[in-house]
Amino acid sequence: MPPRAASVAGLPRWVRISRSAGCGARLVTKFSRVLRNPSGSGGGRMSMTLPPAQPLAKQRDRTMSLDPILNAPAEVQVHVLAVIAAVTLGPFAIYRRRRDRVHKILGYLWVSAMAVLAGSGLFIESALWAMLGPFGPIHLLSLWVLYTLWRGVQAARRRDPAKHSLTMRELYWQSLGIAGLFTLLPGRRINRVVFPETPEVGGAVVVLGVLTIVTLAIIGRKRRGGTT
C-alpha cells in the first residue's frame, strides 16, 4: 500500500471521503486531529475539566428562602400573615376619601389585622435585646399598637374623623414602616429570608431607612411650620 493510502486508511471514514473529494481536505484533517488530540501529545483523547460542584446546601443558602418562616412557631406564622394583611389593606382603608360602607368594612378588616398582629407579637420570644425573660422592646411596641388602635376607634365613635384619620395613618406608617425596618436587623427571621448570605446588608438598609424617615419628618415639620 502506498504511503499516502496508508495515512488515509488510519483516519475516520468522513475524513477519507473529504480527502477523496478534494474539498477542504487539509482543514478537515487538521480539525480531526485537534479533536482526537487537543493537548498536542500523542494518543490522547479530548477531555474537559469542570469546576468542582458545590454542595446543594450551600447553593440553597445563597437564594432567598421562606424556610425561616415556614419552620417557625405558629405564633410567628400568624404574625407574618397579619402583617401581610395589614400592609395590603392599610392604604385602601385609611386613604379612602369616601367614608361609606366600603370604608367601614375595610377599616374593620384592617383594625382586626392590626390587632392580630400586635396580639401575636406578645407571644413571640424576643430574639434581640431581651430584657425580662423572653420579653423585649418588640412587646412594648405591640402594647403601643393596641393602645393606638383603641384611640383611633374611639375617635371614630365620637364622630371625630380628623383625629381618627390622623391616628390611623400615623399608626400605619410608624408600626408597619419604622418597626418593619427593624425586622431586617441581622439575627432576625426576616433578615434570614431576604439576606440569607449577607445579613449585614439588612443592617445597612435599616440605617438608611431610618435616616430617610427622619429626614422626611424634619422636612415635613419645616414645611408645616412655614405655612402656619
DSSP the chain: --HHHHHHHTS-HHHHHHHHHTSSHHHHHHHHHHHH-TTSSTT-----PPPPPPPHHHHHHTS--SHHHHTS-HHHHHHHHHHHHHHHHHHHHHS-SS-SHHHHHHHHHHHHHHHHHHHHHTTSPPSSS--BTTB-HHHHHHHHHHHHHHHHHHHHHTT-HHHHHHHHHHHIIIIIIIHHHHTTSTTSHHHHHH-SS-HHHHHHHHHHHHHHHHHHHHHHHHHHHHH-
pTM listed for this prediction: 0.61
Show pLDDT as tens, one digit a residue, over the chain (228 residues).
Answer: 554 544 545 555 544 544 444 445 454 455 455 445 554 544 444 444 544 555 544 444 556 677 777 887 888 889 889 999 999 999 999 888 888 899 999 999 999 999 999 999 888 876 656 566 567 777 788 899 999 999 999 999 999 999 999 999 989 988 887 778 878 888 777 878 888 888 888 888 888 888 887 887 788 777 766 655
